Amino acid sequence: MCPNRRSFLFGAAGLAVGGVCRAAKLHSTPNIDSHVHVWAGDPGSVARFPFAEGAKVPPGLDASAETLLRRMDANNVARTVLIQVIHYKWDNRYLVDCLHRFPGKFAGVCRVNPEDPNAPDALSTWTEQGCHGVRLSPAADAAGDWIRGPLMTPLWQRCEQLRVPMTLLLPASRLPDVPPLLERHPDLTVVIDHMADCPVGDDKALAKLLALARYPRVFVKITHMWSLSQQAYPYPDTDAMVASVRDAFGSHRIMGGTDWPIKPELVSYEQRLALYREHLPFLNPEERKDVLYRTAQRVWPFGVS
């Protein structure tokens, strides 16, 4: 074998081994999953924590906290942020029950009714019971216009007073409604879920999201690629958009999350984790640590063991 060919093959083998070692190290690093939903599964728990009227709960899907913990243990996920599932609407009791039964494993983000004048007091009550943050979900149509209404100021003020983050699940068309609230509450941490579901290739929608980068306390979950992409896993057509978000906000303000168990037939829990551990090739090692756990820990400050 000629020396040049031998050097090339050994060099290629070294790169391959190095890549395997880096992937193994990432798998051995305990992660924080910033976005998971849970709900009661067994009949006794369902009786204790009934779903809201009209809830469309997927049949046959085990989304209990116990099953989630087994998945976490099998995949080296140290902590998970539980986001109140819409099946319960404003009744956060199952979420709180999970926080109390498994201390240190979960942080909890509750929901309150944004059209209820008593929402700030409800947030205080759920915070006292262990929740750390609230999620609001304004619709794109007129039903979501409450995000511009007078009830937002007292609710955002209460978040600010309680020092808990405001999490927003909203479409890109709603992003222009956010800056006035950010201007009035500059000390409040705000998290934008799922990159505001900006469609791949929609530069105008993405520009609305990137415009929020000028507010230093705004964070973004680089999630939902399985929903936004027009390509198969690992969704390479979303790379440019995610890279743009990284460039605008910095890796210290972006975080990964599985959104488990939504649409499990599309992509597994393990694949969702691997998306952040092994793919997104534009991330350097330090940026990947931010995405995997450091940013989530900044927003929901629990330790990684």
Residue 194 lies in a domain: yes
- Chain segment 167-193, per-residue pLDDT in tens: 999 999 999 999 999 999 999 999 999
Residue 16 lies in a domain: no
Is pLDDT of 15 > 70?
no
- Chain segment 255-298, per-residue pLDDT in tens: 999 999 999 999 999 999 999 999 999 999 999 999 999 999 99
CATH number for the domain that contains residue 182: 3.20.20.140
Residue 15 lies in a domain: no
Q: Are strands 254-255 and 166-168 parallel, antiparallel or unpaired?
A: unpaired
Is pLDDT of 11 > 80?
no
Count the domains in the chain: 1
Q: What is the pLDDT of residue 10?
A: 40
Q: What is the mean pLDDT of the chain?
A: 92
> Which pair of tokens denotes residue 258?
């599985």
Q: What is the pLDDT of residue 27?
A: 57
> Which pair of tokens denotes residue 164?
């808990």
Domain that holds residue 175: 31-299
Angle between helices 269-278 and 3-28 (to 10 degrees): 130
pTM, two decimals, is: 0.91
Residue 190 lies in a domain: yes
Q: Nearest-CA neighbor of 196 among 181, 212, 183?
A: 212
Residue 6 lies in a domain: no
The number of CA neighbours under 13 Å toward the Cβ of 275 is: 26
- Chain segment 228-256, per-residue pLDDT in tens: 999 999 999 999 999 999 999 999 999 99
